Amino acid sequence: MTSISPILQNKINAIKNGNNAPQQDDKIYNDLTRRANSVKPNEAKAKIVKENMLQSAVSAVKDTGKDCVNFVNIMKTGKTSDHNLGRLNDVGLKLGAVLIASFLTTQARTKKQAAMNFIGGAGFIASMSLWPKIFINLPARIVHGFNIDKKYISAQGDKKDFGLDNQYYVWDAVPEEDLRKAAKRTGIDYDSKNGKEKIQRKIQKTILQNRTLNMATVGFATPLMTALACDKIEPKVKDALIKHEYKKVEKKVTSSEELIKYLSGLKRQESDVRNVKEIEALFSRYMAENKEFDSDFFKELAGYLNLDITNDFKDSDTLKPIGKITYDKEGVAKVLEKIYKNGDKVNIKNIAEQLMQEEFEGAVFGKGFIEPKNKSEHYNLFKAIKKCKDKDNIKTAIEASGFDNSIKTELTNGIDNLDIKEAISQIKTKLLKDYVERVVLDPEQVKDLTARQIKDLLAKKGYTDNILDNITISILPKGKDEFKKTILNYNENMLSATRTRLKEYLKLLTPVVGECEESIYTQSISQTTQKLLKSFDLPMGKRQNPRLAKIAAILHIPQKSVEKNSQEITLSKLKESRHVNVANMLHDLFAAKVANIEYGSEEYKEFISQLYSDRIGENIEKVIKNLEDERMLDTICQNSSDDKLLKELDSAIAGGKNANGIKSHLQKFIKEAQVNIEAIKTRAIICANFEQRLKDGSLKDEIRYMDFSGDKIKSLIEKIEGLRLSEDKVNPLIEEINALETSSKDKVSSVIKQIKNLGLSEDEVNPLIKIIDESKMLDDKVEDIINQLKLLVYDDGTARRNNNLYLEDVKRAPDLIKMIFNKEKFKAELEAFPELKDVIDNLSSSQINSFKDSKKLLSLSHILKVRATEIFNNKAWKKTFVPMFAALVGITLAVQPLFGNIKNEFEDEAGKGGIK
């Protein structure tokens, strides 16, 4: 109970018994006697922490927060415990990881890279603690029966690992039941002589050995675990990001009107105002020397007013839609000159002339039987005059009206020499002119207004949008200073707004049809190709080590050729061969698949439904349609000024309507992407169909009689008509022969049969058949054309670029293309997927067009090659590191049962030694 020595205890008893009174200054004895026999050892302040997985995760986060508060305390007071000071190192580590990840994000090209930086960093730090939790602590618990990952809170309030220091174990904190349970599970008798020491020693030893194992293996395991986990997560992150970006665009592009509103409502950004100093310098150069503005001036000025945005985007992929536009400097210079020379103050006659159009006329005088809304004096006079049949009546009517005398004389002037009708029409135009000049456009009012304000004034007077839209009012002022002001204003406010709109449009376009890594376009292509490659299930194949091959060749050692001579098609073959060979390999693969399947059967339908891939983005067709809407493209480059000449300048800067303008470029780009997206979904189906037609030979027949057309058909028909046979026999035959002009040529054999069945003599039949046979192709030529067709189907883009493959038959190309993409031969496929119809039409027309334009369409062999390379590289990487990880895990788990062996350490154990 107490821990006082017997001498002192004696003294205390003596004092209590009344002998030896205490001395006054004997403080120590007084204290002792006060608390004698009641001093106990302090209670154990340390406590084991009991938490499950979720709570421990939450408290880990809380502890990090406590560390930050602790940091502030340390800076203030300078007092801390060693353990808390050591924990600050972990905080710094996490801060460092965040800084590194954010630095790498500033250099990331794509959003997926940026996201993976943070995921990888967090995963690395997490796997530093997950490796021991999953692969060391958990097996230890299962094998040995007790938890080695305990934590306790010390007397100073620090949360520490139980086995942190091998020579300092706080056994006071562990309640006895836990030790009993552990002893029971490990077969130690707790109540025996050394039972408690044994179980304590066993726990201690197990913990030490496992912590050493952790130190040995965590260096290998953490990078491996992180890399393997991120390898799995990466494609999902990429898909999620692409979808997210696409949805953002989809929200803005719900309808073209909304998009137009959004784009036209964008304010210009300050960073888009360019070349201000250069323009000012140019103007001051010329105006200081009082030089006239000549053509050089306008050319230079045109150079500064451009839409060049190449330096605004970090990656060049966003710029691909407008990549190769040549800005038309000369056209812009011409318009600038025009602006300089044609500017004038508000010219009422100019406006009035425009207002005097038919529609405006109808607004004043009505059309036919419909009366105008505002019935003015002029209208009344016109009404009175309309029905007059005599000039004198006209004159009296004019006199009777309420106009001024000058106007009256003006009106009656010069009608004497004209017919009545002409006179009426002349008076009508004069009335209209007066109306416009005096009533509508009051000179005093209109003098200082801008174009917009004039239009508003007219609108107030009740003139409809139809009329006002057709009026262009150009009120650009004249003179050098005014010109300079106009140009600077245009550059600052309007051209910069165009730049902003264009950039925003490109940003909307990229996630949908851009040629970058993260767009719906690229994603649909990669998903399709992956599906296709998976369905072929190709083995990896190995590549010969070129160095070893060279050495073997020099030393004349026969090296086992791993893959060179084998007939099997492998991923490595796909990635290393030239495009032509890849196309042939694909032909072999498809032919092998289709060999046993009959056309039109259920098996065939199953097969092609495997090859068809669903659309990726919802509503993607609608979105694309809105993005390439003509009005919308106009909104980008047209500023909302009503000035006619400035509008001309806008369209000149944007390239105008020629093929190199921005608008046409964008439309072409989007159209191509659209066609490719559609095509890639169904490409494989067309290949299957091609193989089927090759298999049953119908394609060969078509090719054989390809040249039988035009004049030859005519001559055959003439000859048949010349035989003078009965009409009911001949007419169906002639119809069929005529139909051969446009339909597929495999019906020629049936025509030949029918001719033979006409019941004619040999002398009459042979010349007919000779005409057909003259245009029959030789077999080698047929084979040659079939090889070219294979390339067309499997590798249209690349093979065409090496034009020598098509040199001979460039003229045949449109016919060949029509032969392949012939809808009549796609019956089974169209049954299953009706939307194939449009795809086939689009593909055939774009293939024909690309022969003329030498543009590239998507080549199946190229994209499969790229995809095969990716898959091969990934598999090669995994082949190295997955076995390494598996071996590590195996060793870690295998070693666990060897731990915790406390034989020969205690006296009562049979054997030698032992700690005494």
Residue list 186-215, contact with another protein (CB under 8 A): 204-206, 208-209, 211-213, 215
Residues 720-749 that bind another protein (CB under 8 A): none
Closer to another protein by Cβ: residue 370 or 915: 915
Rg, C-alpha atoms of the chain: 46
Please tell me whether residue 153 binds another protein under the rule CB under 8 A. Answer: no
Nearer to another protein, 72 or 557 (CB): 72
Shortest reach from residue 873's CB to another protein, in Å:
6
Would you say 92 or 710 has its CB closer to another protein?
A: 92
Query: Residue 637 Cβ, how far from another protein at the closest point, in Å?
Result: 24
Any contact of residue 912 with another protein (CB under 8 A)? Answer: yes
Amino acid letter for position 866: V
What does the alpha-carbon distance between residue 35 and residue 12 come to, in Å, rounded to a whole number?
Answer: 11
Helices then strands, counting H and E runs in the chain, come out as: 43, 3
In this structure, the dihedral spanned by the alpha carbons of residues 824, 825, 831 and 837, taken in order and rounded to 10 degrees, is -60
Smaller CB separation from another protein, 318 or 613:
318
- Pick between residue 120 and residue 617 the one whose CB is nearest to another protein: 120
Both tokens of 353, joined, read 């002339």
Nearer to another protein, 15 or 148 (CB): 148
String marking each residue 295-314 x if it binds another protein according to CB under 8 A: -------------------x
CB 92, min distance to another protein, A: 4
Return the number of the residue (234 or 707) whose C-beta is nearest another protein. 234
Give the shortest CB-876-to-another protein separation in angstroms. 4
> Encoding tokens for residue 388?
């007059």
User: C-alpha distances in angstroms, 840 versus 561, 621, 823, 843?
Assistant: 44, 17, 7, 5
Residue at 868: amino acid letter: A
Instruction: Considering the complex, state which of residue 547 and residue 753 has its C-beta at the smaller distance from another protein.
Output: 547
288-to-291, 460, 480, 491 alpha-carbon distances in Å: 8, 45, 12, 22
Backbone angles phi, psi at 47, to 5 degrees: -140, 140
Piece of the chain touching another protein by CB under 8 A; list 278-286, 709-717, 837-845, 907-915:
907-915
Angle between helix 295-304 and helix 276-288 axes, rounded to 10 deg: 160
Question: Could you tell me if 519 and 511 are in contact, meaning their C-beta atoms sit under 8 angstroms apart?
Answer: yes
Smallest separation, CB 99 to another protein (Å): 4
Beta-carbon count within 10 A of 770 CB: 9
- Find the binding residues for another protein in span 569-588 (CB under 8 A): 572, 575-576
CB-nearer residue toward another protein: 160 or 430:
160
Part in contact with another protein (CB under 8 A); list of ranges 70-78, 363-371, 464-472, 507-515 = 70-78
Q: Encoding tokens for residue 275? A: 């070349």
State in angstroms the smallest separation of the CB of 103 from another protein. Answer: 5
Beta bridge partners of 660: none
The least distance separating another protein from the CB of residue 220, rounded to whole angstroms, comes to 6
Looking at beta carbons only, is 659 or 915 nearer to another protein? Answer: 915
What residues between 843 and 902 interact with another protein by CB under 8 A?
A: 869, 872-873, 876-877, 880-881, 899-901
501 lines the binding site for another protein (CB under 8 A): no
Question: Is the CB of 216 or the CB of 553 nearer to another protein?
Answer: 216
Q: How far is the CB of 149 from another protein (least distance, A)?
A: 16
By C-beta, is 234 or 809 nearer to another protein?
234
The interface mask with another protein, positions 807-826, x = CB under 8 A, is --------------------
Does 561 sit near another protein (CB under 8 A)? no
Nearest to 221 by CA among 121, 326, 347, 136: 136
- Near another protein in 434-473, by CB under 8 A: none
* Interface stretch with another protein, choices 58-66, 236-244, 385-393, 904-912 (CB under 8 A): 904-912
CB-CB contact of 797 with 580 (8 Å): no
Nearer of residues 81 and 254 to another protein, judged by Cβ = 81
Return the DSSP state at 367. Answer: B
List the one residue from 58, 216, 553, 882 that touches another protein (CB under 8 A): 216
Nearer to another protein, 562 or 832 (CB): 562
Find the binder of another protein among 175, 223, 479, 539 (CB under 8 A).
Answer: 223
CB of 167 to another protein, least distance (A): 5
- Which residue number, 204 or 523, has a Cβ lying nearer to another protein? 204
Residues 350, 355, 358: CA angle, nearest 5 degrees: 135
Q: CB within 8 A of 285, min separation 6: which ones?
A: none
Taking the C-alpha atoms of residue 172 and residue 181, their distance in angstroms, rounded to an integer, is 16
**Interaction residues for another protein, span 226-265 (CB under 8 A):** 227
- Nearest distance from residue 214's CB to another protein, in Å? 8
- Region of 911 (left: φ > 0; alpha: ψ -120 to 50; beta: rest) is left
Round to whole Å and give the CA distance between 163 and 173: 13
Token pair of 675 as six digits:
């066609």
Print burial letters for 100-130: b (CB count within 10 Å at least 16), e (below 16): ebeebeeeeeebbbbbbbebbbebbbebbeb
> 161 has which bridge partners?
151
Which residue number, 6 or 78, has a Cβ lying nearer to another protein? 78
By C-alpha distance, which of 799, 808, 875, 870 is closest to 578?
Answer: 799
Separation in Å, CA 7 to CA 4, 27, 32, 33, 723: 8, 17, 13, 13, 151
**Which phi-psi region, left, alpha or beta, contains residue 668 (left: φ > 0; alpha: ψ -120 to 50)?**
alpha
Which DSSP string corresponds to 383-435? HHHHT--SHHHHHHHHHHS---HHHHHHHHTT-TTS-HHHHHHHHHHHHHHHI
Binder among 48, 138, 164, 260 for another protein (CB under 8 A): 164
Length in residues, the chain: 916
Dihedral angle computed from the Cα positions of residues 242, 248, 251 and 255, in that order, rounded to the nearest 10 degrees? -70
- Chain positions 535 to 554 lying near another protein, rule: CB under 8 A, are 542-543, 545
**Residue 4 Cβ vs another protein, minimum distance, rounded to whole Å:** 20
Per rule CB under 8 A, count of chain residues that contact another protein: 71
* 481, 485, 486, 490: CA torsion to nearest 10: 150
Q: Please, which of residues 623-662 interact with another protein by CB under 8 A?
A: none
**Binder among 13, 64, 129, 166 for another protein (CB under 8 A):** 166
Binders of another protein among residues 71 to 110 (CB under 8 A) are 71, 74-75, 77-82, 85, 88-89, 91-93, 95-96, 99-100, 102-104, 106-107
Each as own residue / partner, the long-range contacts of residues 209-212 (CB below 8 Å, 24 or more positions apart, any chain) are 209/899, 209/900, 210/132, 210/136, 210/137, 210/140, 210/148, 210/896, 210/899, 211/163
Residues 167-186 that bind another protein (CB under 8 A): 167-168
* Beta carbons within 8 Å of 161's beta carbon, 6+ residues apart: 149, 150, 151
Do the Cβ atoms of 348 and 696 come closer than 8 Å? Answer: no
724 or 916: whose CB is closer to another protein? Answer: 916
Angstrom distance (rounded) from CA 357 to CA 367: 13
Query: CA–CA separation, 493 vs 473, rounded Å?
Result: 20
What minimum distance in Å lies between the beta carbon of 213 and another protein? 7
Tell me the closest approach of the beta carbon of residue 649 to another protein, in angstroms: 29
- We find the least distance from the C-beta atom of residue 754 to another protein, in angstroms, to be 58
Contact residue for another protein among 114, 130, 218, 765 (CB under 8 A):
218
State which residue, 57 or 884, has the beta carbon closest to another protein: 884
